[in-house]
């Protein structure tokens, strides 16, 4: 599950416990013939036909969506997914609509020029838009003209779904990495800034654990070998129990994403949830809503390996300050980013939309 899927899961699961019946529509290359029940909500799968520029397309989704909309009081979209814009207009939705706006379209700039008219029409047609952080609302050129119908509901996590770390896992990772290390968790994508982290790690001997895999994994490993970074440990994808053990043990969380494609940062939020000091970049998105500069961690300029190295050294050499930032990060999580707070905000929004004349 990626960040958006995790968000949808938390909303659907939590709202079902508050009396909201939720049907989730998604695509699959091998779709189930009947709805799948997950934690109190139903998942319906349409056949994935092909993928273009990170957008998945389906022909059967039109009929399946039409069937589900007939039963619905509210239609909740998650943006960006251009196919849903098309489905929305083709099926002529007449129900109240809300869009959770996760991210601007950053990378596909040429295709964006073709898509922009449809995007504008779609966002103008829906009843309400949710941004996931005030930072993103302020800096998004797409959202600013629509701000009269935008509210902010931060993505939330349910810590109760993260089981306590197992003793043998804690012992395993202590013996393998050591008692003090930094941690990165995430898919290894172009915008994660990991090439900058590796450059910043030259000359340091602080252990850094990288959990996750992705399209640039081999490229990063070659860079680490070339730079002689024996203190950087690539662990690939790990089971949840290992990830939880590493989150519990780590000294701090590194999140060097340097482009606006990183709209929020679920693994950064996990770091706050586990009371860890964080290092992230100021990219005008939700990362700086989670990590408050000099309060919950350090916020540095993007694409700056020197600033990143200095931040890593500062936290490492000032354990009392790092511990204080970690405690403040955990307080920040409980005050602003619980799944319960997110779900209740969405249920209130659903009620308002359903009762609107």
Tell me, what's the pLDDT at 317? Answer: 98
What sign results for the dihedral spanned by CA atoms 139, 144, 146, 150? positive
Residues 226 and 310 grouped into a single domain = yes
Given a cut of 80, whether residue 213 has pLDDT beyond it is yes
Task: Tell me: pLDDT of 268 over 70.
Answer: yes
- Residues 227-249: tens digit of each pLDDT: 999 999 999 999 999 999 999 99
pLDDT at residue 55, rounded to an integer: 77
Q: Count CB-CB contacts under 10 A for residue 224.
A: 22
The boundaries of the domain holding residue 8 are 3-158+339-354
pLDDT, the chain, mean:
94
Same domain, yes or no: 315 and 343: no
**Does residue 186 carry a pLDDT above 80?**
yes
Q: Report the number of secondary-structure helices (H) and strands (E) in the chain.
A: 14, 15
pLDDT band at residue 157, thresholds of 50, 70 and 90?
very high
pLDDT for the residue 357: 76
**Tens-place pLDDT, residues 272-306:** 999 999 999 999 999 999 999 999 999 999 999 99
pLDDT at position 35 is: 96
Q: How far is CA 142 from the centre of its chain?
A: 19
Q: How confident is the model at residue 6 (pLDDT cuts 50, 70, 90)?
A: confident
Query: Both 150 and 165 in a single domain?
Result: no
Closest CA to 257 of 337, 194, 322, 171: 194
131 shares a domain with 221: no
Other CB atoms within 10 Å distance of the CB of residue 91: 15
Query: Do 147 and 188 fall into the same domain?
Result: no
pLDDT above 70 covers what percent of the chain?
Answer: 98
- The b-or-e profile of 181-201 (16+ CB within 10 A means b, else e) is bbbbbbebbebbbbbbbbbbb
13 closest CA partner among 40, 43, 37: 40
Per-residue model confidence as pLDDT tens digits over 311-338: 999 999 999 999 999 999 999 999 999 9
The candidate with the shortest Cα–Cα distance to 278, out of 257, 258, 255, is: 255
Same domain, 82 and 210: no
167 pLDDT more than 80: yes
Domain at 180, CATH number: 3.40.50.2000
Percent of the chain with pLDDT over 90: 90
Query: What is the sign, positive or negative, of the torsion defined by CA atoms of 331, 333, 335, 338?
Result: negative
The first and second tokens of residue 25, run together, are 């529509």
**Same domain (yes/no): 152, 268:** no
283 and 330 both lie in a single domain: yes
pLDDT at 60 exceeding the cut of 90: yes
How many folded domains does the chain comprise? 2
pLDDT value of residue 1: 62
| Per-residue pLDDT, 105 | 80
CB 220 within 8 A of CB 195: yes
* Residue 210 CB neighbour total at 10 angstroms: 25
**Model confidence pLDDT, tens digit, residues 14-46:** 999 999 999 999 999 999 999 999 999 999 999
* Cα gap 67→23, rounded to integer Å: 11
Contact (CB, 8 A) for 183 and 161: no
Query: How far apart, in Å, are the Cα atoms of 67 and each of 37, 44, 91, 120?
Result: 18, 11, 10, 26
Q: Are 171 and 279 members of one domain?
A: yes
C-alpha span between 204 and 315 (Å, rounded): 13
Which whole number is the average pLDDT over 206-214? 96
pLDDT category of residue 110 using cuts at 50, 70 and 90: low
Assess whether 346 and 271 both reside in one domain: no
pLDDT at site 158? 94
pLDDT for the residue 62? 95
Q: Residue 58: is its pLDDT beyond 80?
A: yes
Kindly state whether residues 231 and 289 are assigned to the same domain.
Answer: yes
CB 173 within 8 A of CB 249: yes
pLDDT of 3 over the 80 cut: no
The predicted model gives 253-260 an average pLDDT of: 96
Annotate 141-174 with DSSP letters as a single string.
TTTGGGGGGEEE----B-GGGSPPPPHHHHHHHH
pLDDT of residue 51: 80
The token pair that represents 64 in the structure block: 């399946």
Residues 23 and 84 grouped into a single domain: yes
């Amino acid at each position: 599950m990626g960040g958006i899927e995790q968000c949808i899961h938390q909303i659907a699961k939590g709202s079902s416990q508050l009396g909201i019946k939720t049907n989730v529509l998604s695509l699959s290359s091998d779709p189930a013939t009947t709805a799948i029940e997950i934690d109190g909500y139903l998942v319906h799968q349409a056949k994935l036909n092909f993928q273009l520029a990170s957008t998945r397309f389906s022909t059967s989704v039109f009929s399946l969506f039409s069937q589900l909309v007939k039963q619905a009081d509210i239609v909740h979209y998650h943006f960006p997914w251009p196919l849903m814009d098309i489905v929305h207009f083709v099926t002529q939705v007449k129900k109240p609509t809300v869009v959770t706006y996760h991210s601007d379209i950053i990378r596909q700039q040429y295709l964006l020029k073709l898509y922009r008219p449809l995007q504008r029409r779609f966002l103008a047609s829906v009843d309400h838009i949710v941004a996931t952080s005030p930072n993103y609302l302020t800096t998004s050129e797409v959202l600013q003209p629509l701000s009269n119908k935008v509210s902010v509901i931060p993505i939330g996590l349910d810590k109760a779904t993260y089981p306590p770390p197992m003793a043998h896992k804690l012992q395993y990772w202590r013996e393998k990495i050591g008692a003090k290390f930094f941690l990165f968790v995430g898919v290894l994508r172009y915008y994660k800034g990991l090439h900058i982290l590796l450059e910043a790690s030259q000359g340091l001997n602080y252990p850094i654990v990288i959990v996750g895999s992705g399209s640039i994994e081999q490229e990063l490993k070659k860079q680490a070998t070339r730079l002689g970074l024996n203190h950087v440990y690539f662990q690939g994808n790990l089971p949840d129990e290992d990830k939880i053990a590493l989150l519990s043990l780590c000294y701090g969380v590194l999140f060097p994403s340097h482009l606006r494609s990183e709209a929020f940062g679920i693994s950064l939020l996990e770091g706050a949830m586990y009371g860890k000091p964080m290092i992230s970049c100021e990219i005008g998105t939700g990362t700086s809503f989670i990590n408050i500069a000099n309060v919950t961690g350090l916020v540095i300029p993007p694409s700056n390996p020197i600033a990143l190295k200095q931040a890593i050294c500062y936290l490492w050499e000032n354990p009392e300050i790092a511990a204080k930032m970690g405690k403040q990060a955990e307080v920040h999580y409980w005050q602003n980013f619980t799944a319960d707070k997110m779900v209740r905000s969405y249920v209130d929004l659903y009620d308002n939309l359903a009762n609107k004349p």
